[in-house]
Amino acid sequence: MVSCLMKKRTAGKAVFLFVLSVMFFPAFLNTGFSASFSPAAAYAGTDAVSPVAHEETYTHPPAPKLKAQDYPIVMGINSRVFVWMAAQLHLWFAAFVLAVPIFVFIIEAVGMATKDERYDKMAYEFIKVSLTAYSVTALIGGLLAFSLFVFYPDLMRYMTRLFGQTMLLYALLFFAESATLYIYYYGWHAMERGFSKWAHLTIGLLLNAVGTTLMFLANAWVTFMMSPSGVDAGGVFDGNIWHVIHNHLWNPINLHRFVANIAFGGSIVGAYAAYRFLSARSDSDRAHYDWMGYTANLIAISALLPLPFAGYWLTAEIYAYSQQMGITLMGGAFAWLFITQAVIIGALFLSANYYLWCGMERSPGAYRYTKYIKYIAAVIVVCFLVWFTPHTLILKPWELKALGGQYHPFLGPLGIMPAKNTAVNIMLIFTFLSFLLYRRANKIAVVSWAPLGRAAQAAVFAGAILNIVFLGVYYGYFTNTVYKVASSVPQVASTLTVIAACMVIDFFMFKGAKDVGELRWGGIPQRSQYALFLLAVSFTWLMGLMGFIRSSIRQHWHVYSVMRDASVNAYTLTIASAAKTVSAAAIIFMAMVIFIFWLSALSSKKQDKPLPLGSDAKNPKEGGGIR
Amino acid sequence: MNIFFKVIIFSLLTMGIYTLFATNYIPPMNSAPVPAEETIDLAQMTIQQFIALGDKIFHGKGTCTLCHNPVVKRAPLLDGVAGRIGERLKDTRYKGGAKDLAGYIEESMRKPSAYVVAGYGVTGSNDTVSPMPVISEGAIGLNDVEIKAVIAYLQNLGGAEVTVEIPKGPPMAEGKDSAQAATLPAKTGAEIVKKFGCGLCHKIAGEQGAIGPDLTKIGAKKNADYLRRAVFDPNADIAPGFPPGMMPQDFKDKMTAGELQVIVDYLAKSK
C-alpha cells in the first residue's frame, strides 16, 4: 500500500514537472519571432494590426545565425555534457518503458490463448517493474526539456516554431499514455476474466499505440536535425508540418528504435529476473525467475536478430541523404567507434548464446546436442573476429614499412563491409541454431517424416551459408562497388529464410512431440545469470555509444547544413571523452535502475508478524525475505 | 559475498573494460575543431599563395578527400583532370556548358551531375546522378573565393596553366564576423540602435535620422513578422516614398539571434 502511494506520488510529481516544462513552449511561441505556423493564422493575426497587412506575403523566418554569445552560461555548467546526460538517461528509461508494454501485451495475449496463468503473472510482474521507471522517465524528460531551453534557447525557439504543433500533441499523448498505463496496471486484477480480460488487452494495445506514436513524434524532432526537410537552405519553413516530420531519416530511425527498444527492454527485465533468481530463497521462486529470465532473454534475442538489418537500412539511408555524413560516420572521424561497437555486439552474441547453452542443463535430453556447442562457439568467435578486424591499421612508421602499407595482406580484405556482412549473417544463423537446439533439447519428434524434416533443415542451413559466403566473396571482391553493397540484401534474405523455414518445419515436426523428461526450471547454473547482466550492461553502454555517434555525425550543426552550432562546445569529441561520458551516464542509469528494482521488490515484501511469546525466533516460517 | 555487491562489481567491471578498450586500445580520434572560414587579404595574395589556400580547403573545410582519395576511391582521383578535359567536354553524356578546365571544375562543384564518371553515379541512376553534394551549399558551403582557390589548386595539381584570377574585393566576409564576435551583444533596444547606428537614418530611441522611415510608432502599424523581415531582408518590403537599396543588407549576419529578437520586440512595442 505504501509503495503504491509512493508510486502515485512520484508519478504525480513527474506529471507536474512535465507540465511545467511543456508550459515553456507557449512562452517561446508567443514571441514575435515565432508567430503562427499556418499562413492563414498569420494573416488573421496581421489583419488585426495593420489594414494593409493582407497584401504582404507571409514567410517564415530563416534559422538564426548564432554567435557564441547566444548560448547562456549558467553557473559554469558544461551545457553540452548536461544536456547529453539528461537526453541519454531519458532515452534509456523511455526505451525501457516503451518496450515493456509491447511484450507485456504479447505475453498477456499468449496467456489468454494458452489459458496458462503463469504468463499472466509474469506479464504483470514485467509491467510492475516498468511502472516506477515510467515516473522516472517523465522526470528526466522534464529535466531534458528544461535544460534544452535554458542552454540552447535559440535552437529551441527555432525548433518549437517548426514543431510547436507536434510538441503540443506530444504533451496530450503523454497524458493519454499515463492514463492508459495506470488503467492497464491498476486494472489488471479487476479485469482478469471473461470479456473484461479482452477489454484489458485492448487497453494494452491502446497503450502501445500511444507510446509508439509518442516515440515517432520525438524521433521526428531528432531526425529533422540530422536530415532537415520541409525547410529551404536557409531554414525557412515551407508551411507543411508533414514535410518536416517525414524527413529522410524518420522512418529508418523509427524502425531501428522500435526494434532496439524491445531488445533493450528485454535485457533489463532479464537482469531483474537474474537478480531475483540469485537472491531467491525457495525453489519455486528460483523456478519462476529462471523462467522469467529465459523469457526476457528470448525477447531480447528475438529483437537483436533483426536489429543489424534495421541498423544497416538506417546507415544506407544516411549515405543516401548525405554521402558526406555517411562517410564521416563509417569512414571518417567515427569509424573506429564501430570497432568498439563490434566488440560489444560480439559480447552480446556470445553472452546470449552462452545463456542458451547453460539453459540446456534444464533439459534431461540436452546431452544429445551438447557436443555441437563447441563448434557453434568456434564459428561465432571466428565471425566476431572478422567483424572486429579494422580496415585501416594505425601503425608505427617501421610497422608501416614492414607491412608495405596500411593494409595487412591477408587480414586487410576482412576490413571491408562485404566481409563484415558475411560474418554477421553467419553469426546470426548460428545463434539461431543455438536456439533451435535449445528448443528441441527436451523433445523427441514423433512424426514419421522427422528424419526428412531434419535433413531439410540441414539443407536450408547449408544452402543459406553457402549463398551468404558466395555473395560476400564474389560480389564483395570480384565486382565493382555497386554490387559490393547491393549483395547485402540477398545475404539478409538468406538469413531470414533460414529462420522462417526452420521455424515452420520445427513447428510441424515437433507437434505432439514426446518430452524426454521434465524441464528443471530453476536448475540452470548460477553463473548463467551473469550472462543476463552482461547482456543488460552491454546493451546500455552500446546504446549510449551509438547515441553519441548518431548525434555527433551532425558535427558543428544543430540542424545539419541549416543551422550552425556556434557554441564553444561545437567541436567533435575524442573517442576517449565520449566513452567516459557514456560510462558515467550508464553508471547513473544503472544506479537508478537498481533503485527501481529495489522499490519493486519492496512492494512485494511483507513484514513478518510479531511472533507469539515462546515461539522459536531463529526458525521463522516460510514467507520471510524477498519473495 | 552478498549477491548485490557481486552484481555491482560485475557490472562496473564490464563497463570498465569497454571504457578501457575505447580509451586505450583503439586509435585516439583527435578532437575535431569547428571548421573556420579563412581570413585572407586577397589584395596582397600571390597566385602561389592562392593555390596553397585551395590545397588547404581541398584537404580541410571542403572535405574533398573523404571521397577523392587513392585509398578508398569513392570518387575519381582529380590529379589527372587537366589531361582528361578534352574528351570530357566532347563526351555525349556531358550535360554542362563549360568551355575550359576552370569552367568544368567549377561546374563539377556547383552542379555535380553535369557529368558523372562511369561507375561513380548513384546506385540505379545509370551514372546520370552524382552522389557528390553541391559544394557551394549545405554543410560544406564553400564561398566563391574558396571555390576559385580550389579550382586554382586542381589546375596546378594536373600540371595545367592556372587561369583563375584571384578575386578582387573585400576579404572573406567571416573575417569581419570574428572581429565582431569579440564584442559583447547589446541587451536592450536602445543599445542595439546605438551599436548598429540605426539612428543615422531612422527616427528611433531618441535619435532623429531622417533618411529612412520614422520608427517611433512602427509597432502600431506593423507586426513582428514584418519587422523581422525588414531587418533580415530590407528590400522585401519598401516603405512608400523611400527608394529601395538604401538600408544595409547584412544586419542578419552582424546581429546575434538574441539581438535580432530584442530589436524586433522593441520595435513591435513602439506604439
Statement to judge: residues B188 and B153 lie in one domain: no
Q: Which residue of B has its CA nearest to A58?
A: B225
Once rounded to an integer, what is the mean pLDDT over residues A15-26? 43
The SS3 assignment for A422 reads helix
B11 inside domain: no
Statement to judge: residues B121 and B209 lie in one domain: no
Statement to judge: residues B148 and B101 lie in one domain: yes
Residues forming beta bridges with residue B203, ordered by sequence position: B208, B214
* Band of pLDDT at residue A420, cut at 50, 70 and 90: confident
What per-residue confidence (pLDDT) applies to A187? 92
| Amino acid in position B75 | A
The residue that leads in pLDDT, A625 or A466, is: A466
Which 3-state string (H, E, C) describes A127-167?
Answer: HHHHHHHHHHHHHHHHHHHHHHHHHCHHHHHHHHHHHHHHH
The residue that leads in pLDDT, A594 or A332, is: A594
Chosen for mutation from A38, A60, A69 (greatest number of chain B CBs closer than 10 Å) is: A69
Beta-carbon separation of B253 and A58 below 8 A? no
> Residue holding cell 534557447?
A153
What residues of A are in contact with residue B15 (Cβ under 8 Å)? Answer: 537, 541, 583, 586-587
Residues 6+ apart with CB under 8 A from A273: A289, A290, A292, A293, A296, A532
Once rounded to an integer, what is the mean pLDDT over residues A275-283? 90
B138 → closest Cβ in A538, A561, A582: A561
| Amino acid in position A242 | W
Statement to judge: residues B65 and B117 lie in one domain: yes
A579 → closest Cβ in B8, B23, B220: B23
Q: What is the DSSP string of A10-58?
A: HHHHHHHHHHHHHHHHHHHHTSTTT--SSHHHHHHHHHHH-TTGGGSPP
Once rounded to an integer, what is the mean pLDDT over residues B73-88? 82
What per-residue confidence (pLDDT) applies to A481? 59
What is the distance between the alpha carbons of residues A427 and A491, in angstroms, rounded to a whole number?
Answer: 12
- Does position A400 have pLDDT exceeding 80, yes or no? no
Chosen for mutation from B2, B7, B65, B140 (greatest number of chain A CBs closer than 10 Å) is: B7
* Band of pLDDT at residue B239, cut at 50, 70 and 90: confident
CATH of residue B66: 1.10.760.10
This prediction's pTM: 0.71
How far B98 CA sits from the closest chain A CA (Å)?
25
- Rounded to the nearest 10 degrees, the angle between the axes of helix A417-440 and helix A337-359 is 10
Residues 6+ apart with CB under 8 A from A287: A521, A522
Beta-carbon separation of B31 and A573 below 8 A? yes
* Band of pLDDT at residue A148, cut at 50, 70 and 90: very high
- Does position A159 have pLDDT exceeding 50, yes or no? yes
For residue A328, how many C-alpha atoms fall within 13 Å in the half-sphere facing its CB?
Answer: 21
The percentage of residues in chain A with a pLDDT greater than 70, rounded to a whole number, is: 82
Residue B11 contacts A, CB cutoff 8 Å: yes
Cβ-Cβ pairs closer than 8 A, A with B, add up to 196
B19 → closest Cβ in A42, A392, A583: A583
What per-residue confidence (pLDDT) applies to A623? 35
Per-residue pLDDT tens for B35-51?
Answer: 665 566 777 788 888 88
- Does position A84 have pLDDT exceeding 50, yes or no? yes
User: Count of domains in chain B?
Assistant: 2
Beta-carbon separation of B19 and A538 below 8 A? no
Statement to judge: residues B152 and B81 lie in one domain: yes
What per-residue confidence (pLDDT) applies to B174? 42
- Does position A3 have pLDDT exceeding 60, yes or no? no
Residue B63 contacts A, CB cutoff 8 Å: yes
B219 inside domain: yes
What per-residue confidence (pLDDT) applies to A14? 44
Residues forming beta bridges with residue A515, ordered by sequence position: A443
Which residues, numbered 163 to 202 in chain B, qualify as contacts with chain A under a Cβ-Cβ cut-off of 8 Å? 177, 181, 184-185
What per-residue confidence (pLDDT) applies to A333? 66
Count of beta carbons in the 10 Å neighbourhood of residue B250? 11
Residues 6+ apart with CB under 8 A from B233: B249, B252
For residue B169, how many C-alpha atoms fall within 13 Å in the half-sphere facing its CB?
Answer: 7
What is the distance between the alpha carbons of residues B56 and B50, in angstroms, rounded to a whole number?
Answer: 10
Q: Residue A342: which of A232, A424, A457 has the closest Cα? A: A424
Mean pLDDT across chain A: 82
Evaluate the CA torsion angle A566, A567, A568, A572 in order and state its sign: negative
* Band of pLDDT at residue A396, cut at 50, 70 and 90: low
- Does position A588 have pLDDT exceeding 90, yes or no? yes
What is the distance between the alpha carbons of residues A468 and A463, in angstroms, rounded to a whole number?
Answer: 9
- Does position A618 have pLDDT exceeding 50, yes or no? no
How far A80 CA sits from the closest chain B CA (Å)?
15
What per-residue confidence (pLDDT) applies to A149? 94
B258 inside domain: yes
What per-residue confidence (pLDDT) applies to A277? 92
> Residue holding cell 553467419?
A426
Statement to judge: residues B103 and B153 lie in one domain: yes
What per-residue confidence (pLDDT) applies to A403? 65
B14 inside domain: no
Region of B222 on the Ramachandran plot (φ > 0 left; ψ -120 to 50 alpha; else beta): beta
- Does position A50 have pLDDT exceeding 60, yes or no? no
What is the distance between the alpha carbons of residues A602 and A615, in angstroms, rounded to a whole number?
Answer: 27
Chosen for mutation from A49, A341, A400, A533 (greatest number of chain B CBs closer than 10 Å) is: A49
Per-residue pLDDT tens for A472-492?
Answer: 888 877 776 556 666 778 888
* Band of pLDDT at residue A160, cut at 50, 70 and 90: very high
Per-residue pLDDT tens for A603-613?
Answer: 766 666 665 65
Burial of A85 (0-12, 13-18, 19+ CB in 10 A): buried
Q: What is the DSSP string of A254-273?
A: HHHHHHHHHHHHHHHHHHHH
Statement to judge: residues B66 and B138 lie in one domain: yes
Q: Residue B137: which of A479, A324, A615, A314 has the closest Cα? A: A324
What is the distance between the alpha carbons of residues A441 and A369, in angstroms, rounded to a whole number?
Answer: 7
What per-residue confidence (pLDDT) applies to A554? 87
The SS3 assignment for A109 reads helix
Statement to judge: residues B86 and B145 lie in one domain: yes
Q: Residue A139: which of A197, A178, A194, A107 has the closest Cα? A: A178
- Does position A402 have pLDDT exceeding 80, yes or no? no
Q: Which residue of A has its CA nearest to B230?
A: A61
What per-residue confidence (pLDDT) applies to B55? 87
Mean pLDDT across chain B: 79
**Sequence-ordered alpha helix ranges (H) in B95-212:** 101-110, 144-157, 174-181, 189-196
Region of A353 on the Ramachandran plot (φ > 0 left; ψ -120 to 50 alpha; else beta): alpha
What per-residue confidence (pLDDT) applies to A575? 83
What is the distance between the alpha carbons of residues A553 and A571, in angstroms, rounded to a whole number?
Answer: 11
The residue that leads in pLDDT, B255 or A3, is: B255
- Does position A58 have pLDDT exceeding 60, yes or no? no
How far A98 CA sits from the closest chain B CA (Å)?
24
What is the distance between the alpha carbons of residues B233 and A447, in angstroms, rounded to a whole number?
Answer: 80
Beta-carbon separation of A578 and B22 below 8 A? yes
Chosen for mutation from B11, B128, B238 (greatest number of chain A CBs closer than 10 Å) is: B11
What is the distance between the alpha carbons of residues B18 and B15, in angstroms, rounded to a whole number?
Answer: 5
Q: Mean pLDDT lowest for which of A480-489, A577-586, B156-165?
A: A480-489
B198 inside domain: yes
Statement to judge: residues B140 and B188 lie in one domain: no
Statement to judge: residues B52 and B145 lie in one domain: yes
What per-residue confidence (pLDDT) applies to A395? 60
- Does position A5 have pLDDT exceeding 60, yes or no? no
What per-residue confidence (pLDDT) applies to B134? 85
* Band of pLDDT at residue B86, cut at 50, 70 and 90: confident
B137 inside domain: yes
A83 near A151, Cβ under 8 Å? yes
Region of B30 on the Ramachandran plot (φ > 0 left; ψ -120 to 50 alpha; else beta): beta
| Most confident residue range from A197-211, A357-371, B216-230, B235-249 | A197-211
Once rounded to an integer, what is the mean pLDDT over residues A23-40? 35
Residue A404 contacts B, CB cutoff 8 Å: no
Q: Phi/psi of residue B147, each to 5°?
A: -65, -40
| Amino acid in position A382 | V
The pairing of strands A563-564 and A557-559 is: antiparallel
Statement to judge: residues B68 and B150 lie in one domain: yes
| Most confident residue range from A364-373, B225-234, B242-251 | A364-373
- Does position A278 have pLDDT exceeding 50, yes or no? yes
For residue A532, how many C-alpha atoms fall within 13 Å in the half-sphere facing its CB?
Answer: 35
What per-residue confidence (pLDDT) applies to A494? 92
What per-residue confidence (pLDDT) applies to A538? 94
* Band of pLDDT at residue A32, cut at 50, 70 and 90: very low
Evaluate the CA torsion angle B109, B115, B120, B122 in order and state its sign: positive
Statement to judge: residues B48 and B99 lie in one domain: yes
What residues of A are in contact with residue B261 (Cβ under 8 Å)? Answer: 31-33
Once rounded to an integer, what is the mean pLDDT over residues A34-38? 31
Beta-carbon separation of B18 and A392 below 8 A? no
What is the distance between the alpha carbons of residues B151 and B161, in angstroms, rounded to a whole number?
Answer: 11
B4 inside domain: no
- Does position A574 have pLDDT exceeding 90, yes or no? no
What per-residue confidence (pLDDT) applies to A604? 67
Residue A179 contacts B, CB cutoff 8 Å: no
How far A384 CA sits from the closest chain B CA (Å)?
16
Read off the DSSP letter of residue A61.
-
How far B206 CA sits from the closest chain A CA (Å)?
23
Residue B7 contacts A, CB cutoff 8 Å: yes
Question: ipTM of the assembly?
Answer: 0.78
* Band of pLDDT at residue A409, cut at 50, 70 and 90: low
Residues 6+ apart with CB under 8 A from A517: A363, A364, A365, A442
What is the distance between the alpha carbons of residues A542 and A345, in angstroms, rounded to a whole number?
Answer: 8
Which residues, numbered 436 to 495 in chain A, qualify as contacts with chain B under a Cβ-Cβ cut-off of 8 Å? 480-482, 485-486
* Band of pLDDT at residue A398, cut at 50, 70 and 90: low
What per-residue confidence (pLDDT) applies to A332? 67
* Band of pLDDT at residue A537, cut at 50, 70 and 90: very high
The residue that leads in pLDDT, B138 or A554, is: A554
What residues of A are in contact with residue B217 (Cβ under 8 Å)? Answer: none
Beta-carbon separation of B232 and A61 below 8 A? yes
The residue that leads in pLDDT, B206 or A28, is: B206
Beta-carbon separation of B184 and A279 below 8 A? no
The last residue of one of the domains, among B140, B157, B174, is B157
- Residue A20 in grid coordinates: 511545467
What per-residue confidence (pLDDT) applies to A610? 64
Residue B15 contacts A, CB cutoff 8 Å: yes
B15 inside domain: no
| Amino acid in position A422 | T
Per-residue pLDDT tens for A424-475?
Answer: 899 999 999 999 999 888 888 889 999 999 999 999 999 999 999 998 888 8
- Does position A211 have pLDDT exceeding 90, yes or no? yes
Count of beta carbons in the 10 Å neighbourhood of residue B257? 24
What residues of B are in contact with residue A59 (Cβ under 8 Å)? Answer: 225, 229
A354 near A531, Cβ under 8 Å? yes
Per-residue pLDDT tens for B170-199?
Answer: 544 443 333 333 345 677 888 888 777 787
Quote the domain boundaries for residue B56.
Answer: 42-157
What is the distance between the alpha carbons of residues A85 and A91, in angstroms, rounded to a whole number?
Answer: 10
Which residues, numbered 94 to 153 in chain A, qualify as contacts with chain B under a Cβ-Cβ cut-off of 8 Å? none
- Residue A157 in grid coordinates: 525557439
What is the distance between the alpha carbons of residues A21 and A144, in angstroms, rounded to a whole number?
Answer: 9
Q: What is the DSSP string of A198-226?
A: HHHHHHHHHHHHHHHHHHHHHHHHHHHHH
